[in-house]
Amino acid sequence: MGVRISSNNNIPRVIQSLKDLKKYEIEVGVFGSNGAEYVMIAGVQEFGITIRNERGSIVIPERSFLRTTFDDKNNEWFTFLKKQIEHVINGRINAQILCERLGAKMVGDIQEKLTDINSPPNAPATIAKKGSSNPLIDTGGLRQRITYKVVRR
């Protein structure tokens, strides 16, 4: 009876998988392909705007849901990323799947933030018009259009 010794040297695969991570970027937000109207709405809500006309001005205050989520969740996303890298090293997923998972998590967190924002509140006239006091939810269109892209560099 013979003894068979085999060697599975996974180091080259692991090195390549880690190099592959540099090939991808994750873009998260509201994109023009999802409707230019919603890109404009997202920008107005994210940064605020003053609209002046012959009757005076209307101030839409800043209600950041993108930047504040990035600030609030950055450490959590980094921890998630570290756990996912273990799966890449073990050969369970590749770099693109890691980016897809992180992108989906980021979108979910941003959508949650957008839903939870309640300050500054809507003006009474706005609440009466749309029938809701949630400043960033009207039809749900903006929330639905938050998405991600995994882009190969």
> Which tens digit of pLDDT belongs to each residue from 39-67?
999 999 999 999 999 989 989 999 999 99
Confidence (pTM)? 0.85
Is the pLDDT score of 5 beyond 60?
Answer: no
CA distance 110 to 83: 21
Distance separating alpha carbons of residues 6 and 50, to the nearest angstrom: 70
Among 2-6, 12-16, 85-89, 110-114, top mean pLDDT goes to 110-114
The answer to whether residue 23 scores a pLDDT higher than 80 is yes
Q: In whole angstroms, what is the distance from residue 94 CA to residue 92 CA?
A: 7
Percent of the chain with pLDDT over 90: 60
User: C-alpha angle with apex 49: 44 to 53, nearest 5 degrees?
Assistant: 120
Give the confidence band of 6 by pLDDT, cuts at 50, 70, 90.
low
Query: Is the model's pLDDT at 114 over the cut of 90?
Result: yes
| C-beta separation of 67 from 117 below 8 A | no
Cβ pair 29, 66 in contact under 8 A: yes
Whole-number pLDDT of residue 135: 83
Q: Which pLDDT does position 136 carry in this prediction?
A: 86
What are the start-end ranges of the E strands in the chain? 24-29, 49-53, 56-60, 147-152
